């Protein structure tokens, strides 16, 4: 606390010593103001000394206009008598050129003689040594006569030819009475072929499906083709309709008509239509007959469009593919309706 009071007293004493009194400062300010006022009174009055600004600008523009005037045309200097005439100057230059030109003595021209082309051609022609003609040799007496040489060759050929024993000619056997006449054999074959065709047509188009199945199980007749793969290549049959007997008869028709060279487009269509009739016969005894008939149409359209591509040309159904697509749509609609009615799962 004592140190603080002493420090304040020291600062107060030093402040009193550093600054002048207030009255002295005011006196100095008043003196400076008086000096400024006196300087303002003594300043010169320039009002009226210079012309107005507009007048000065006008004078400057007038001065520029005077300087902008085109200078007077200068007259060409009169050079007459100052320079010598042009002809005299040219003459002087020519004389100077003659004096400075070196003197060159022209060498005497030698007279060129015309070339002798004949002598040159003779020198350049090569010398060709023509060989002497050789005389033909005299072969007379050197070789034997041609007839003698030919005779020798023929004799040698005879010696070199192997001896071949020619067998005796065998007599043809007498078949008369052993075999039937040819016409009779052909007639029997034709009758047999006609019989096979007739039996095939009867089994395919005349008898009913149960009768055909019984004949097939008995392999009757044995000379016909009874092979079948069932319905393995046909569309799906989810409800398990018993279509296999109809597929067996359809395969029977295809195989035997091919073997009998009768598998044409027309006969193929007849076999396919009979296949549809057999399917309808089976569907007549089924519970879901409407769905069965729809699937039968799908099977029939399938064989019409995709079966028997090797059939020979004939009346072919060009719309078979389209008919197959429509049959599939109708069948799927029948299945969907039965499921909505909870008839099938």
Q: To which residue do tokens 């007549």 refer?
A: 284
**Which residues, other chains included, contact 252 with Cβ-Cβ below 8 Å and sequence gap of 6+?**
200, 203, 204, 212, 216, 224, 225, 226, 228
* Angle, CA 72 vertex, CA 70 and CA 78 arms, to 5°: 145
Q: Is 250 a catalytic residue?
A: yes
Distance CA 307, CA 268 (A): 9
Among 36, 250, 255, 322, the active-site one is 250
Residues in the chain: 345
Catalytic residue positions, numbered: 250
């Amino acid at each position: 606390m004592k140190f603080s009071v002493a420090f304040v007293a020291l600062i107060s004493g030093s402040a009193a010593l550093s600054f002048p009194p207030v009255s002295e400062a005011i006196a100095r300010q008043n003196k400076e103001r008086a000096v400024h006022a006196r300087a303002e009174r003594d300043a010169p009055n320039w009002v009226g000394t210079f012309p107005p600004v507009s007048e000065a600008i006008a004078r400057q523009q007038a001065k520029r206009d005077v300087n902008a005037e085109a200078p007077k045309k200068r007259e060409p200097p009169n050079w007459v008598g100052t320079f010598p005439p042009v002809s005299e100057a040219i003459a002087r230059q020519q004389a100077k050129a003659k004096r400075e030109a070196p003197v060159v003595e022209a060498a005497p021209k030698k007279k060129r003689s015309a070339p002798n082309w004949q002598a040159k051609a003779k020198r350049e022609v090569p010398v060709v040594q023509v060989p002497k003609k050789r005389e033909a040799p005299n072969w007379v007496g050197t070789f034997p006569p041609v007839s003698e040489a030919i005779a020798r060759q023929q004799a040698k050929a005879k010696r070199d030819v192997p001896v071949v024993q020619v067998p005796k000619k065998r007599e043809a056997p007498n078949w008369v009475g052993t075999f039937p006449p040819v016409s009779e054999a052909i007639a029997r074959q034709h009758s047999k072929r006609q019989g096979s065709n007739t039996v095939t047509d009867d089994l395919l188009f005349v008898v009913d499906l149960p009768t055909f199945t019984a004949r097939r199980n008995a392999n009757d007749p044995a000379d016909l083709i009874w092979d079948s793969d069932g319905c393995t290549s046909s569309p799906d049959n989810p409800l398990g309709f018993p279509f296999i007997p109809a597929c067996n008869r359809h395969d029977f028709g295809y195989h035997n008509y091919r073997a009998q060279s009768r598998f044409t487009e027309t006969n193929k269509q007849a076999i396919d239509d009979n296949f549809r009739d057999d399917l309808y016969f089976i569907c007549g005894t089924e519970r879901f007959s409407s769905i069965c008939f729809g699937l039968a149409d799908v099977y029939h359209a399938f064989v019409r469009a995709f079966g028997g591509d090797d059939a020979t040309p004939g009346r072919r159904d060009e719309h078979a593919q389209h008919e197959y697509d429509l049959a599939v749509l109708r069948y799927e609609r029948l299945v969907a309706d039965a499921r909505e009615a909870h008839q099938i799962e």
